Amino acid sequence: MESEKVIARDNDYVLHTYNRNPIVLAKGHGLHAYGPEGQSYLDFTSGIGVNSLGYCDLAWAEAVSRQAHKLQHTSNLYYTAPCSKLAKRLCRRTGMSKVFFANSGAEANEGAIKAARKYSFDRYGDGRAGVITLVNSFHGRTLATLTATGQAGFHQYFGPFNEGFAYVEAGDIDRLEKAVDSRTCAVMLELVQGEGGVVPLDPVYVQQVRALCDEKDLCLIVDEVQTGVGRTGTFLACEQYNLQPDIVTLAKGLGGGLPIGAVLVSAKVAAGMGPGTHGSTFGGNPVVCAGANAVLDRLDDNFLAGVRAHAAQLRAGLEKLPHVAEVSGLGLMLGVQFEEGIAAADVLAACRERGLLVLTAKTRLRLLPPLVLTAHDIERALVILDEVLCGMTPAQI
């Protein structure tokens, strides 16, 4: 069987850094993915928030292949139209001033930290480079972003870690005020902690953080790698928090399935990032930018209203399922906490057996469906989840 062959070969040769599900995906269309032997799956993961238009959206695939036939790469020594077009559209939609293109979320966050430190260096000189992040955050897997990630579990094996990072509990403005000192240059946060369990920040707290950053001239870096590009029902989650960040990072859903990261900066931060301060061989690649432009083509106000309507339908359905204690999240970024004794990992495995792909985050089941899902897709997923949960009894504790 093809699946067995692929899995065995992968296990033999690919470094075992991932706990993969024991299934092979060979092709897909919309919300549906198919295995080599014809297995069919309803995908509520979108490749962890990446396939915003689902699998192989026609307009997206055509835009990407048209660009691949025209010009696939040039390096950043030359100008290309897809890159400048994407940058202009991102600035217009977010109110930010300029964009740096990277290739992943972690890389975008690295760029954000560099830009914040450069702003601070130019204005205040050396020694003001500290970045405060939140406990339970996730910012990536490179050494600096791993250090920025406020989860102790990530801070082992790979030290020495970067200096200049400190962590405070989300929601506690007093602790943040105390943590800021003369060496602090930035605060970095996710508005909905994704990997940390799909936990939205309190809007009042976010405004307090903004005010503190204004008072101390700190750069507020908002990591919208997961929440951005329509995921929460607005183009940026910042819009729902009425927040204008100094730096915002995007990645996952931006390319519709191709690797891209973006650092969006305000005019004052942009001023310090001149030639030679940052770079990337692949950043702004025309094929990848063509894919991202196809995603932006789709994400008009009408589309985002549809995302919000579908999110409300999904959330209401989840809240009615058996054994559900709480539904958290924003838009199509949802976490489900079950009653004690029901493990999200068991629910995930049972859903997979029935052809529904879902995720977990910490103790929660996590849903990140493609933004193009329909009412029918939601009903299908809820029926499967209902069957799975009806068949479960909380384990003896």
Is 138 within any annotated ligand binding site?
yes
**Minimal CB distance residue for ligand PLP:** 105
Number of CB atoms found within 10 A of residue 32's CB: 15
Cβ-based nearer residue to ligand PLP, 194 or 233:
194
Cβ-based nearer residue to ligand PLP, 262 or 347:
262
Q: What is residue 259's three-state secondary structure?
A: coil
Is 280 within any annotated ligand binding site?
yes
Which segments within the chain are labelled E, that is strand? 27-29, 32-34, 40-43, 98-102, 130-134, 165-168, 184-189, 192-193, 199-200, 219-223, 247-250, 261-265, 324-330, 333-338, 356-357, 359-361, 364-367
Instruction: Compute the Cα dihedral for 189, 190, 194, 199 and give only its sign.
Output: positive
Cβ-based nearer residue to ligand PLP, 24 or 258:
258
Shortest Å distance, C-beta 126 to ligand PLP:
28
CA dist 193 and 224 (Å) reads 10
Shortest Å distance, C-beta 137 to ligand PLP:
8
Shortest Å distance, C-beta 370 to ligand PLP:
16
Is 225 within any annotated ligand binding site?
yes
Is 226 within any annotated ligand binding site?
yes
How is residue 28 annotated by DSSP? Answer: E
Cβ-based nearer residue to ligand PLP, 94 or 128:
94
Name the residue type at position 114.
Answer: K
Cβ-based nearer residue to ligand PLP, 194 or 256:
194
Shortest Å distance, C-beta 81 to ligand PLP:
25
* Cβ burial, residue 100 (10 Å; 0-12/13-18/19+): buried
CA dist 247 and 392 (Å) reads 45
Is 223 within any annotated ligand binding site?
yes
Cβ-based nearer residue to ligand PLP, 53 or 361:
361
What CA–CA distances, in Å, run from 272 to 98, 115, 122, 265, 331?
12, 7, 7, 11, 35
How is residue 150 annotated by DSSP? Answer: B
Shortest Å distance, C-beta 276 to ligand PLP:
24
Cβ-based nearer residue to ligand PLP, 57 or 110:
110
Shortest Å distance, C-beta 387 to ligand PLP:
30
Is 106 within any annotated ligand binding site?
yes
Q: What is residue 167's three-state secondary structure?
A: strand
Shortest Å distance, C-beta 258 to ligand PLP:
12
What CA–CA distances, in Å, run from 178 to 84, 167, 187, 393?
41, 11, 13, 46
Binding site for ligand PLP (CB under 6 A): 104-106, 109, 138-140, 190, 194-195, 223, 225-226, 251-252
DSSP symbols for 44-59: SSHHHHT-TT-BT-HH
Cβ-based nearer residue to ligand PLP, 226 or 240:
226
Shortest Å distance, C-beta 278 to ligand PLP:
16
Q: Of the candidates 223, 234, 128, which has an alpha carbon nearest to the alpha carbon of residue 170?
A: 223
Angle, in degrees to the nearest 10, between helices 58-70 and 286-298: 150
Name the residue type at position 310.
Answer: H
Could you list the residues known to form a binding site for N(2)-acetyl-L-ornithine, using ranges. 141, 280
Q: Which residues are annotated as a binding site?
A: 105-106, 138, 141, 223-226, 280-281
Known binding-site residues for pyridoxal 5'-phosphate equal 105-106, 138, 223-226, 281
